[in-house]
Amino acid sequence: MARNISLNFRVVEGRDLPAKDVSGNSDPYCIVKVDHEVVARTATVWRNLNPFWGEEYTLHLPLDFHHLAFYVLDEDTIGHDDIIGKISLSKETIAAASPRGIDSWLNLSHVDPDEEVQGEIHLDVKLLGEAQGPRLRCHIIEARDLAPRDVSGTSDPFARVFWGSQSLETVIIKKTRFPHWNEVLELHGEEGPLRVEVWDWDMVGKNDFLGMVEFPPDVLLQCPPSGWFRLLPFASAEDDAGGKLGALRLKVRLAEERILPSVYYQPLIELLVESVLSPAQDDAMTPLALLDEVSSGESRQDTATQLVKIFLGRGLAVPLLDYLNLREVSRTTDPNTLFRSNSLASKSMEQFMKLVGTPYLHEVLKPCVNRIFEEKKYIELDPCKIELTRTRRISFKGTLSEEHVRENSLGLLTGYLGEILEAITGSVDKCPPAMRAAFRQLHQRVEERFPETEHEEVKYVAISGFLFLRFFAPAILTPKLFDLRDHHADPQTGRSLLLLAKAVQSIGNLGQQLGRGKEQWMVPLHPFLLQSIIRVKAFLDKLVDIDAEGALEAQPRLLFPPSAVIKEGYLHLRKAEAGALVPRFAFKKRYFCLSSETFSYSKAPEWQVRTSIPVCRICAVERVDENAFQQPHMMQVITKTRDGQLDTMYIQCKNVNELNQWLSAIRKASVCNEGMLPSCHPGAFRGNRWTCCLQQDRTVQGCSRTHSAVTLGDWSDPLDPDTEAQMVYRQLLLGRDKLRKKYVEFSKEEIKLDQEVSQGQSGLEGGGSAVPEQERPPTAAAVARLLAVIEDLEQAHKTFEQREKEHVTRGSLLS
């Protein structure tokens, strides 16, 4: 039984941050670390003490992670960035929160260097009893992943051992975070706890603390420590600075699941699929309908994502959406409220578009969004917000009037809108066939439900509501959140994007809301919007013009075919060679392309000559220490050649987010590879030794653990039906009490119906009529089947957990 840990966190916003710049402002951004490894960096919000980020991440993590930390820094053009404060959350704190996780404002605390410890130490301790008193032998073997304390990105570590009133030290090993001491220190004649501290030696000033580990006397007597131990800071009460450093609003949720073998989830998946392929007469009692009822509003988006992925893996995503949409449409009486709520149908359509349509979204919107960011034009239509001082002068005769600013803004806005609409309406052939098939089915269902002439627009609004209001408009408003840009827009560009998003929303509503709102200053844009609606309706007609056979064949079983590009872009490459010094020009700019089959690169995207590496030969994908080449944001891809030799490519990314995205993408593509390395060198072999551990043997085993389990969750995650089914089961388990109440309720109704049937049959002699048996929906039976599947899965989990406990107990007895 596998175990899966997912950590979802959202850096929402900050408030009351201190000013770090002479202008009285700050340029804040957040760095997120898991066990001191940087996993994400938010965009910088310029000149703002109350920044909004709204950035969300999902991390797939190993089982043994310990804490999550958020650091707020002020970006400076010259010199080092200023640290404002941090928030640290242990795994236990996150796990102890409610099922919804943490969602609150948390005060920032000071960053104490003595608490910023990381890494592990390898010890072998023996307590020997002798006539003259006890003797403790502490074998200090090595340490790894120590914190860098020197400007070179390394440390000069030594270890200090305390036992009672005695203490001894190891030698100092300079310029390494992976020291090998291999020293045996012996202390005599006293009893008490053993404490091993690691310090960074400094020639000038006091030494820097790198961490410690402590063992009480009973542990030394009963089970002398031997192995790797995590370094800890000195015990201290965390100071949140009382709000003086400001606060962050965070959303953090930890999901730790035990994943059973696939066979145990088949009954649940078959029940869900049966709801779609063989719907009951009363669709309110299908397993999917029951799942919808027991899902809370907060969890409905997650449930929708899990369902879409399960059905995508079976090539049934379009029938799933058709089933959910049909339920929603048939229950709607007022067409103006169609899909306006956050129902399971609307959430499933939304998640389906993100999973299947993200590459399409990028292809359509990226050129125009990039142009808006690069041109940085001032656009404003609201008279209350026009700032004449921020506009450029067209002539030397005077400043622009408010009317001129509005006319100029209207021209710019219609220009950008025209480009966006041209890209959208001309993208029929670029739209994924599965999306077109889903829209075709939705178009048909709405047309059948509202055939009246006065409701002619509804079939268009139903589709444009998803495509424009829930897909294109949010991406235009916040391009960073849809990976269209690496950074958030500055306030001026952000205002332009907001106006464009409002206009796209109005077009998506087919002009039904024009003139009804409070924003009357948008009226000059209405003629352009009304003209655009005709083009949009023609585009929607073409979009749903896909034959039935093609619609069925368009259903993918994967998010992308094996040859499809998962990630691509320019990076800087250096192949590992046996040279001593590496000049800066050794890194060459190359265009990299990753699919699930190959990892290749060439001088430019259009070049036919490419160097390709089969993904199945990748053994590890890891970060590289900055001091290895004196370059930041570097990673290494270790592959195995045909003759079994290891080959290393060193690759530099332009920033930490790009580094994390490439690490994650390659790790996910190679997740099923055999022969993945358990360790590697985070440095480079230069000057006849490794820069990380200073070992002179090029083939020596790696000094740091690999991190293949740490990946970012995104649209390109491989489909994993077992994990998705486990999450659905977890949601059903939370709603089991509701299901049991429904079962009791429906059983009573069936008993009452049985009585009516028997009374009807006895009355046939008097000329009465019986209730037809085929008109009785199998309500209680449907709920009972679902409850039985839930109980079977619950029992399977208990059985496997008991086996794990027995295995651990047996192992401890053997040791």
- With vertex at residue 741, the alpha carbon angle to CA 735 and CA 746, rounded to the nearest 5 degrees, is 125
Q: What is the pLDDT, as a whole number, of residue 394?
A: 42
Other CB atoms within 10 A of residue 755 CB: 10
**Domain ranges in the chain?**
2-111+241-254, 120-230, 265-295+719-752+778-808, 345-550, 565-713
Number of H helices, E strands in the chain: 18, 28
In this structure, which amino acid lies at residue 158?
F
Q: What is the pLDDT, as a whole number, of residue 238?
A: 57
- Neighbouring residues of 495: CB distance < 8 A, sequence distance ≥ 6: 379, 380, 385
Q: What is the pLDDT, as a whole number, of residue 237?
A: 55
Q: Identify the residue whose tokens are 């939705």.
A: 442
Q: What is the CATH number of domain 2-111+241-254?
A: 2.60.40.150
Q: What is the pLDDT, as a whole number, of residue 748?
A: 81
Q: What is the pLDDT, as a whole number, of residue 395?
A: 42
Q: What's the rounded mean pLDDT across residues 751-762? A: 69
Q: Dihedral sign for Cα 650, 656, 662, 666, please.
A: positive
* Residue closest to 345 by CA, chosen among 446, 423, 248, 224: 446
* Residue closest to 524 by CA, chosen among 408, 648, 613: 408
CATH fold label, 565-713: PH-domain like (2.30.29)
Assess contact for 604 and 569: CB atoms under 8 A. no
Residue 746 and residue 9: Cα distance in Å, rounded?
40
Q: What is the pLDDT, as a whole number, of residue 583?
A: 47
What's the burial of 694, exposed, middle or buried (CB within 10 Å: 0-12/13-18/19+)?
middle
* Residue closest to 379 by CA, chosen among 344, 410, 353, 420: 410
Q: What is the pLDDT, as a whole number, of residue 577?
A: 57
**Beta strands at 685-686 and 689-690: parallel, antiparallel or unpaired:** antiparallel
**Beta strands at 2-15 and 52-61: parallel, antiparallel or unpaired:** antiparallel
Range with the poorest average pLDDT among 10-19, 333-342, 690-699: 333-342
Range with the poorest average pLDDT among 375-384, 507-516, 797-806: 507-516
For 206-211, the CB contacts below 8 A with 24+ separation are 208/113, 208/149, 208/155, 209/113, 209/114, 209/117, 209/233, 209/234, 210/117, 210/119, 210/146, 210/147, 210/149, 210/155, 210/157, 211/117, 211/118, 211/119, 211/121, 211/146, 211/147
Confidence of residue 776 (pLDDT cuts 50, 70, 90): very low
End-to-end CA distance of the chain: 23
Conformational region of residue 113, where left means phi above 0, alpha means psi within -120 to 50, and beta covers everything else: alpha
Q: Which residue would you say has higher pLDDT here, 582 or 59?
A: 59
Q: Tokens in use for 107? A: 């005060």
Q: What is the pLDDT, as a whole number, of residue 771?
A: 46
The rounded radius of gyration (Å) of the Cα atoms in the chain is 31
599 - beta bridge partners? 594, 613
Confidence of residue 391 (pLDDT cuts 50, 70, 90): low
Does an H or E element contain 756, and which?
Answer: helix 736-762
Q: Identify the residue whose tokens are 């069925």.
A: 552
What does the pLDDT look like over 220-276, one tens digit per residue?
A: 888 889 999 999 988 765 566 677 899 999 999 888 888 888 899 999 999 999 888
Share of the chain above pLDDT 70, in %: 88
640 - beta bridge partners? 646
Helix, coil or strand: residue 358: helix
Residue 539 and residue 545: Cα distance in Å, rounded?
10
2 - beta bridge partners? 259
Residue 509 and residue 693: Cα distance in Å, rounded?
62
Is the confidence at residue 742, as pLDDT, over 90? Answer: no
Assess contact for 28 and 74: CB atoms under 8 A. yes
CA atoms within 13 A on the CB side of 431: 26
How far from 91 is each of 2, 69, 212, 605, CA to CA, in Å?
19, 11, 20, 43
Assess contact for 129 and 121: CB atoms under 8 A. no
Q: What's the rounded mean pLDDT across residues 127-134? A: 77
* Residue closest to 321 by CA, chosen among 331, 310, 332: 310
Share of the chain above pLDDT 90, in %: 41
Residue 143 and residue 701: Cα distance in Å, rounded?
14
What does the pLDDT look like over 134-163, one tens digit per residue?
A: 888 999 999 999 999 888 889 999 999 999
Largest Cα–Cα separation, the chain:
110
Is the confidence at residue 550, as pLDDT, over 60? Answer: no
CATH class of this structure's domain 345-550: mainly alpha
Average pLDDT, the chain: 85
Assess contact for 382 and 521: CB atoms under 8 A. yes
What does the pLDDT look like over 637-661, one tens digit per residue?
A: 999 988 888 999 999 999 888 898 8
Q: What's the rounded mean pLDDT across residues 659-688? A: 89
Residue 28 and residue 18: Cα distance in Å, rounded?
10
Is the confidence at residue 449, as pLDDT, over 60? Answer: yes
Confidence of residue 516 (pLDDT cuts 50, 70, 90): low
CATH topology identical between 2-111+241-254 and 120-230: yes
**pTM of this prediction?**
0.77
Chain-centroid distance, C-alpha 151: 32
Residue 697 and residue 685: Cα distance in Å, rounded?
9
Is the confidence at residue 72, as pLDDT, over 90? Answer: yes
- Neighbouring residues of 311: CB distance < 8 A, sequence distance ≥ 6: 272, 273, 276, 317, 319, 320
Helix, coil or strand: residue 126: strand
What does the pLDDT look like over 188-215, one tens digit per residue?
A: 867 789 999 999 999 888 999 999 999 9
Conformational region of residue 47, where left means phi above 0, alpha means psi within -120 to 50, and beta covers everything else: left
Residue 505 and residue 499: Cα distance in Å, rounded?
10
* Residue closest to 212 by CA, chosen among 199, 225, 193, 227: 199
DSSP conformational letter for 544: T
- Neighbouring residues of 576: CB distance < 8 A, sequence distance ≥ 6: 647, 648, 649, 650, 684, 685
The string of DSSP letters for 404-441 reads HHHHHHHHHHHHHHHHHHHHHHT-GGGS-HHHHHHHHH
In this structure, which amino acid lies at residue 200?
D
Q: What is the pLDDT, as a whole number, of residue 515?
A: 64
Residue 776 and residue 753: Cα distance in Å, rounded?
8
What does the pLDDT look like over 480-490, one tens digit per residue?
A: 888 888 777 88
138 - beta bridge partners? 125, 185
How far from 226 is each of 154, 179, 229, 589, CA to CA, in Å?
27, 18, 9, 47
Assess contact for 650 and 639: CB atoms under 8 A. no
Check whether domain 120-230 has CATH 2.60.40.150, yes or no: yes
212 - beta bridge partners? 197, 232
Other CB atoms within 10 A of residue 48 CB: 16
DSSP conformational letter for 394: S
Confidence of residue 568 (pLDDT cuts 50, 70, 90): confident
Is the confidence at residue 668, as pLDDT, over 90? Answer: no
Q: What's the rounded mean pLDDT across residues 522-529? A: 87
* Residue closest to 670 by CA, chosen among 638, 645, 699: 638
* Residue closest to 142 by CA, chosen among 699, 683, 701, 635: 701
